[in-house]
Amino acid sequence: MPDILTAIWEALPFMLSGAWVNAVLIVGAMLVGLMLGVPLAVGQVYGCKPVRRVVQIYVWAFRGVPILVQLYLFYFGILAWASSIPWLGWAHLESPFLAAVLVLGLTSAAYQSQIFRGAILSLPAGQFKAARALGMSDATAITTIILPQALRLSIPGWSNEYSILLKDSALAFSVGVMEVMARTRAVASTTHQPLPLSILAGIIFFALTWVGVKALLALEKKVRIPGYSH
Amino acid sequence: MNDSDIILKVEGLSKAFGNKPVLQDATFTQRRGTLKVLVGPSGGGKSTLLQCINYLIPPDQGRVWLDGRQINPKSRRELSAYRQEVGMIFQDFNLFDHLNALENVRIALLKVKGMAKAAATERAMAELARVGLAGKADLYPAQLSGGQKQRVSIARALAMDPKVLLLDEPTSALDPELIGEVLTVIKDLAQAGITMIMATHQISFSASLADEFLFMEKGRIVEHGSPAELLGKDCCSRTQAFCAKLSELAGDAGQ
Amino acid sequence: MDDTWSFVTEQVIPGLNLGFWATVQLAVPSALLGLFTGIVVGVLRVYGPRPAQRLANGYVSFFRGTPLVVQLFCWYFGLPQICLFIESLGPVMGVLNALHLAWVPRLLVLSPMGAAILGFSLCSGAYHSEYVRGGLMSIRTGQIKAAQALGMSPMQTVLHVVLPQAVRRALPGCGNEIVYLIKYSSLASVVTVNELTGMARGIAKSTWRNTEVFFTVGVYYLLLVTLATFILGWVEDRLSLPGFERRRE
Ligand SMILES: Nc1ncnc2c1ncn2[C@@H]1O[C@H](COP(=O)(O)OP(=O)(O)O)[C@@H](O)[C@H]1O
Ligand SMILES: [Mg+2]
């Protein structure tokens, strides 16, 4: 019994720095998803027909192809190919971490776009009309009237996306990112104590979920607008 | 004056938001079939008073009697029964966005009164016809003009056979040319003997129908009396001063 | 090339078709039950009495915070342990026998499919409830006031005025969750449900041709996701309200 405890104790710093890798990975992926998901959602709601089609195909492809497949394709395919072309000077791009952030982010953008779309659709069409009536351009109306309201309403959906990204980030071990699950395997293979280490990994994931969800709840409270139920 | 004539009695209603009092000691009685008009500057507490009457805003203090029965707002059943007897018209309509005009009028008949669908539909259609909207029954709120929306919301309230109707600036969200259609409906209701309390800035319209004016300022009812008393030529009431300023500003849009 | 094609059509597709039906039988009830759970839990979290809010929030934290595999293990392998434990308690079984209820602990022993559907529904419900909560928060207070002014009880207000609007607004998010459910349904193979991925693994193991098998299974999932996207879009269109159109000008 004490053996197990010492094994865990010794592995703790190693495991915790893995938690940091996961945290940076999903924050990066959430931001990529946000920056791409917002224009996708706006395009799907307000765009002309070709734009809507493009968004639909994007969402379909990224929601439909498993992350693991995308990771392989992206890391061993596209990134490996791009970084092997000498005159591009992208050799340093062959980083598993970058590949994981991009793949998780691009996939998350597809999911996040649907969250934002739902939020935009829950605003009455009159809001956009009123903004136009003030002489705003469509872009101004969307950025100053629609999105500030819609993004507030997206926070609950965002916390779902956060928790799922956290779970999916464990897949990054497949291209060699040393996140918590990869470290769990590595340590378990030397100490032959998989169960307590798995429990430790579970606790780390639960704690990361809890912190993120609580932070988003606090954000939601802070930006709440009077006049809405609750 | 017979006591059974009094339909609504309000005593000492007060409300503060934080430590800012917005309604102080509102007290009045209202007889069956009369129209009371609330006037006064914006922010004076008219909406707060109206919503305290049916406990949409729970007052900090005060009591309300409907038809001689004191309301106990703590009992949910009693409160629901009371609200069914007090209709409310909102400034910004508050039609249910997911229901068409007919369904908006019918929903409370079905779900609150428990009426059968056919009877509720018939009643709802009759109320829509009364406000001149029989032809618009299957349009959704977003497909109606402001005046039509407000008439649907009046039909929705009337369908419940309310003993008292509260109207909170029913025309102030409307274009000038749409105000007339709503005022016509309200006039018909007044002449049909429906008891109403209405907050409004339509002074000359309401002066011709009202039994009493209540002038509210800073959360208090500072003056009350018949339109003739308060607006008479050689009377120097606050009400008159306020109304004179209103009509000056508006070129008397209230006709 | 020809060889690949005949391998896929003759050896992979027939097996995967069986798995496909298992996946459908798993995903459809889980999606519906999950959505229902999510609506109930979402309402409790926003409008429920304090203790119910706490309970519902705890439910969501637990199911979002723990890995789905672990949850599935609990339902499939953990519940029977509890059953055995109860059956080992003499006095308890005595009482149950007297009441002719000795079969009750056995209810805890679930079939693989039952355990998987239970696990997916509960986990999915936690995520759905968050989208529903977002929808509930987007309802303006005027709608609730108007319902109360008509004398509706809180229950009636939620049921007839708030929820019909909130669920519509939650739909795009709930669509995400249903797509996730389809993809995560592959985990059911760990509790021995022979769904798509389980079948694919079996075929790959016996034929040693991973690439062809897993590529084909990917196409099956893509097909399922496409189908779900199509159905969800259709439902959104059907429920769309004037003033809240899906496409804005
Ligand atoms: N929910 C609220 N919280 C804080 N202050 C409020 C709230 N509602 C109304 N008030 C304040 O109460 C005062 C009276 O408002 P209201 O009854 O709407 O006036 P009126 O209808 O006469 O224009 C105003 O000063 C307003 O700012
Ligand atoms: Mg007001």
pLDDT at A230: 55
Ligand 1 first shell, C-beta below 6 A: B 17, 22, 42-48
Inspect the interface and report whether the beta carbons of A126 and B97 lie closer than 8 Å: no
Q: What is the pLDDT of residues B198-224, one digit of tens each?
A: 999 888 888 888 999 999 999 999 989
pLDDT at A89: 65
Q: What is the mean pLDDT of chain B?
A: 88
C162 pLDDT band, cuts 50/70/90, is very high
Nearest CA to ligand 1 atom 18: B47
pLDDT at B117: 95
Integer Cα distance of C158 and C152 in angstroms: 9
Q: What is the pLDDT of residues C17-67, one digit of tens each?
A: 888 999 999 999 999 999 999 999 999 999 999 999 999 999 999 999 988
- Cα–Cα distance list, A148 to A122, A151, A155, A161, A223 (Å): 13, 6, 12, 19, 10
Higher pLDDT, C52 or C192: C52
Q: How far is the CA of C164 from the centre of ligand 2 (A)?
A: 29
CATH class name, domain C28-194: mainly alpha
Lowest-confidence range among A74-78, B139-143, C116-120?
Answer: A74-78
Q: How far is the CA of C128 from the centre of ligand 2 (A)?
A: 38
Ligand at shortest distance from the CA of B169: 2
Average pLDDT for residues B179-183, to the nearest whole number? 87
∠ Cα B38 B40 B46 (to 5°): 55
pLDDT at B255: 40
Higher pLDDT, B64 or B174: B64
ipTM score for this prediction:
0.87
Task: Out of A2-6, A25-29, B238-242, give the one with best mean pLDDT.
Answer: A25-29
pLDDT at C128: 96
* Residues in chain B closer than 8 A to A125 (CB atoms): 142
Integer Cα distance of A135 and C195 in angstroms: 56
CB pairs under 8 A between A and B: 4
Are the C-beta atoms of B219 and B23 separated by less than 8 Å?
A: yes
Inspect the interface and report whether the beta carbons of A229 and C141 lie closer than 8 Å: yes
Lowest-confidence range among A19-33, B123-137, C11-25, C34-48?
Answer: C11-25
pLDDT above 80: residue A150: yes
SS3 label, residue C127: helix
* Spans of all domains in chain C: 28-194
CATH architecture of the domain formed by B3-254:
3-Layer(aba) Sandwich (3.40)
* Residues in chain A closer than 8 A to C170 (CB atoms): 118
A188 pLDDT band, cuts 50/70/90, is confident
Q: What are phi and psi of B15, to 5 degrees?
A: -150, 135
Give the chain C residue nearest A154 (alpha carbons). Answer: C134
B253 pLDDT band, cuts 50/70/90, is very low
Q: What is the mean pLDDT of chain A?
A: 85
CATH 3.60.21.10, domain A21-178, yes or no: no
Q: What is the pLDDT of residues C167-180, one digit of tens each?
A: 999 999 999 999 99
Q: How far is the CA of C184 from the centre of ligand 2 (A)?
A: 52
* Residues in chain B closer than 8 A to A124 (CB atoms): 97, 142
Which strands sit side by side in the sheet containing B6-17, from one edge to the other? B20-31, B6-17, B61-66, B69-70
Reading the block at residue C7, the tokens are 């391998």
